[in-house]
Amino acid sequence: MTDFAAIILAAGKGTRMKSDLHKVLHPIAGRPMLDHLMAAVDELSPTRRVVVVGAGKEQIEAAVAGRADTALQEPQHGTGHAVQQAQVPLEGFDGDVLVLYGDVPFVRAQTMQAMLERLHQDDATAVVVLGFEPEDALQYGRVIAGNDGAISKMVEFKDASASERACRMCNSGLMAASAKDMFALLNRVDNDNAQGEYYLPDIVNIAIADGRVCAVVSTDDPDEVAGINSRSELAQAEARWQAARREQAMVDGASLRAPETVFFSYDTKIGRDVTIEPNVVFGPGVTVADGVHIKAFSHLEGASVGGSAQVGPFARLRPGAVLEEGAFVGNFVEMKKATLGPGAKASHLTYLGDAAVGAGANIGAGTITCNYDGYFKYQTVIGERAFIGSNSALIAPVTIGADAIVAAGSAVSRDVADGELRMVRAEQFVKPGWADRFHDTMKKKKATKKKA
């Protein structure tokens, strides 16, 4: 692989999104579409990255800070003009350039590599175009090429003849060329067209007129070059991504009881022999080991689930939640920045925040760790094999020793030693016959009120 620079166009206003958030920062599978594209680019280790910005530039500049240079296109006069803006940050760069679009997020690294490799075949190609063949070619611009991929003409649909419109090879807009050729050709593009703009595809026809070879490389997956311009298209892209990820999870050995109801994030890691019941959502940062059972209506984000552990139903694992080997959380249990040790369990109606629970401990129903005083967070430590009775409040910072028992209904604010029983309850009063006398009195009052 020769040195190359990725130029990503992201200057459009994205008005069809009707959003204050820049179009290319809208997430798919928990990751901005721009980051999906940049991750694929990074697989090829580019020498330089330039993102061309315009409307909403502050958002893009903040998003790519430290990862890419930016170039401002203002005003905006077409795709050719946009690429020209990258010439200054790429001054002195003499490798190849690959032109991509921030709203076309799913171009694969191998497709980019194929484009760059085609530049260096024996015919000294000037420009490589990425083409695709959709089921319905609609009004895409056409790439007229021979069987060897050499392009004879690039033509917009409105300017194409009937025979040219019959060609199914369409222009994705993605291109590759040496930096020298790219910018030299762009300097010769004019804006003598209905829109008064400088179009990037014009460089191909200019090069062909010079007697240079231009070639098309085709993707076998039209969805790879699908652009996203509206909320509807964003939802369609999410659906395609999720469908592919669900299929991959099952290929890799997980069982999805109702695949269409399970939603993954871009970085979800799922082991073998994992069972995932309906309506489970994985936010970013989740790792699930082999043999785990995740029951219906659970939500996991930033969590790690150890082998043979069980989650849910209706469980919520927030960032920093760790279930170790064989641990169990049941219905309506929430964990945040807490570790449940091997074989430990919190079966229902529990909140564990900023906590470390030892192996084999049992957390009773309704238990909460009171980890926040309105200003700071504090930790609760629960020892191995400890038993926390139902409806207990553990007021952090507090440590419950190994094999200790906290009686149901206790509010514990001081440490409990190993093997100790801690019971914190108000004294109970017994008044025999009081309830009977109360009911009699109230019934008489009610009867008297009705007569009145």
Give catalytic residues, as residue numbers. 348
Give me the residue label for tokens 């994030």: 265
DSSP E strands, 384-427: 387-388, 393-395, 398-400, 405-406, 411-412, 421-422
CB 35 within 8 A of CB 129: no
List all residues 6 or more positions away from 201 whose beta carbon is below 8 Å from its beta carbon: 79, 129, 141, 154, 156, 171, 173, 175
Q: How far apart are CA 24 and CA 44, in angstroms?
A: 21
Q: How far apart are CA 81 and CA 78, in angstroms?
A: 5
Closest CA to 403 of 424, 390, 422: 422
CA neighbours closer than 13 Å in the CB half-sphere of residue 189: 27
CB 152 within 8 A of CB 145: yes
Q: Is 117 left (phi over 0), alpha (psi -120 to 50) or beta?
A: alpha
Q: How far apart are CA 239 and CA 107, in angstroms?
A: 17
Length of the chain: 452
The helix/strand/coil state of 346 is strand
CB 387 within 8 A of CB 402: no
